[in-house]
Amino acid sequence: MLNQNRLNHTRRTFLSTMAAAAPLAAQPRTRTNIKITDLRCAIMGGSPVVRITTDQGVSGYGQAESYKPYLKPMVLFYKKYLIDQDPTDVGNIMLKIRRLGANKPWGAAVSAIEIALWDIAGQVAGVPVYKLLGGKIRSKVRIYNGGFRPPLNGQTPQDYAEQTAKMKEAKEGFTLIKQAVGFHNPAMMRAMKNGWYDEPRIGANHPDAGLLTEGGLKHVIKCVEAMKKVLGEEIGLALDCGPGWTVKDAIRFARALEPLNITWLEDLITGDYTINPNAELFREVTRSTSVPIHTGEQIYMRENYRDLIEKQAVNIIGPDPEDVGGIAELKWISEYADLHGIQVAPHGIFDGLIGVAAHVHLAAVLPQNYIAFEYPMPAEPWWHEVIEGLPNPIVKKGFIDVWDTSGLGVKFNVKAAKQHLEAEDKAFFD
């Protein structure tokens, strides 16, 4: 009984301290024995949306990428490990479930759950999630464009220049734009008769790989030059390149682009949906060029970043909070990267509007190695009608202002959201 009294006193002290530290937040609710009652998952617009309910009437939400509807059974697999647990003990719950995840896409289920737990913890404490992660060091966070893709008329350098010009004019006022080239852009590669020394492959994401022909390499370079000419010095250009390049092609490509001051080259060797990050090969490329080299969106948990960071194999890492194990995990990885002189630009192209909220709270607390996060464009326009609490407009001149409402600070317009639930998920909000 004495230990329980001390625990209750400690928790009350914590809640009152956090409330005093965030006068703009909602007042904390004193709950000393809150428990999880259910874990639910609904598919909305392709996105698996996670809801964790509690016996105190507080619910937390998380979201996985919009093209992963197949994750629903994986999310629900963890339900037995969550029931009757205290949702504010986020670390304890993660110890139970995080070892059961895996690299992209299977870490997304654990990641969405983690984000929903932080949402509850913030609401219970009456503070924004960023307060629970250590407090913000920036009041607005930079984003970059990877998701706004105006249609292309063809695959010539001029076509890419015209598309890039439309991105430059976007209402978000992007200060950094990422474009897909090389093997990350099958249309670009397959439009050439002899772009590389192999034939196009049929399969899951980015199946092509091989040695580029001279014509193939020069074509990709010309497309990049055309895009950079449009953006000039005022807007940065990053390139999503692979995976699939050989080390020597990657080096030749990077050196050819050095005069253009490209922000980074992403996933040249390995990357999206590849199991092994292959730090040794990335290190060879990184040490051979002045262009920053980037990878990491597919990697799950800190253990799988160890080689990339400790061997200083890349200059920039790009974990996705909805794949890496959640926002606290990404913060830890970013801090460890900072110790090794490595910067961070989190991936997030399909993370949805709940994902936007998670990214903002995370970016607010990341160390000074933070560059920008990839701004998730909603998969369907109606998402703006069902999610409330985000700034309006969300992005202003390439930045998002950090808000101070408790938890993630977003909620569903339940009446509107119910219109977009599939039949088997009709009870999701009940």
214-225 pLDDT, tens digit per residue, is 999 999 999 999
**Same fold? 2-132+420-425, 140-412:** no
pLDDT digits (tens, 9 = 90+) for 375-399: 999 999 999 999 999 999 999 999 9
Give pLDDT, residue 20. 44
Chain position carrying tokens 């020394």: 197
Give the start-to-end residue ranges of the domains of the chain: 2-132+420-425, 140-412
How is residue 18 written in tokens?
């956090």
pLDDT-above-90 percentage for the chain: 90
Chain position carrying tokens 């037995």: 80
Give pLDDT, residue 11. 46
pLDDT digits (tens, 9 = 90+) for 275-300: 899 999 999 999 999 999 999 999 99
pLDDT confidence band for 29 (50 / 70 / 90): low
Q: How far apart are the C-alpha atoms of 185 and 162, rounded to whole Å?
A: 17
Torsion-angle region of 270 (φ positive above 0: left; ψ -120 to 50: alpha; else: beta): beta
How many H helices and E strands in the chain?
Answer: 16, 14
Q: How far apart are the C-alpha atoms of 70 and 58, rounded to whole Å?
A: 27
H helices of 322-421, in order, are 327-339, 352-365, 383-386, 414-417
Q: 214-231 vs 247-257: helix axis angle to the nearest 10?
A: 40
| Cβ proximity of 50 and 425 under 8 Å | no
pLDDT confidence band for 205 (50 / 70 / 90): confident
pLDDT-above-70 percentage for the chain: 93
- The residue type found at 2 is L
pLDDT confidence band for 169 (50 / 70 / 90): very high
| Cβ proximity of 348 and 373 under 8 Å | yes
* Global model pTM greater than 0.85: yes
Give pLDDT, residue 203. 84
Q: What is the mean pLDDT of residues 43-47?
A: 94
Give pLDDT, residue 12. 53
| Cβ proximity of 351 and 19 under 8 Å | no
Q: How far apart are the C-alpha atoms of 379 and 83, rounded to whole Å?
A: 31
Q: How far apart are the C-alpha atoms of 216 and 87, rounded to whole Å?
A: 53
More confidently predicted of 26 and 101:
101
H helices of 178-274, in order, are 186-190, 214-231, 247-257
pLDDT digits (tens, 9 = 90+) for 188-199: 999 999 999 999
State which CATH number among 3.20.20.140, 1.20.120.1200, 3.40.190.10, 3.20.20.120 fits the domain covering 140-412. 3.20.20.120
Query: Quick one: which of 74, 230, 69 has its CA closest to 159?
Result: 230
Q: What is the mean pLDDT of residues 334-352?
A: 98
| Cβ proximity of 53 and 123 under 8 Å | no
Task: Mention the CATH class of domain 2-132+420-425.
Answer: alpha beta
pLDDT digits (tens, 9 = 90+) for 52-95: 999 999 999 999 999 899 999 999 999 999 999 999 999 999 99
CA 189 to the chain's CA centroid = 26
How is residue 291 written in tokens?
């262009």
Q: How far apart are the C-alpha atoms of 24 and 366, rounded to whole Å?
A: 22
Give pLDDT, residue 25. 41
| Cβ proximity of 40 and 33 under 8 Å | no
Q: Helix (H, G, I), strand (E, B), or coil: what is residue 212?
A: strand
CA distances from 94 to 111, 112, 270 (A): 10, 12, 28
Got the DSSP string for 158-180?
HHHHHHHHHHHT-TT--SEEEEE
Q: What angle do CA 292, 296, 301 make, to 5 degrees?
A: 140
How is residue 308 written in tokens?
């990339």
Chain position carrying tokens 């009984």: 1
Q: What is the mean pLDDT of the chain?
A: 93
How is residue 136 written in tokens?
């913000």
Give pLDDT, residue 204. 82
More confidently predicted of 349 and 22:
349
Q: How far apart are the C-alpha atoms of 343 and 264, rounded to whole Å?
A: 11
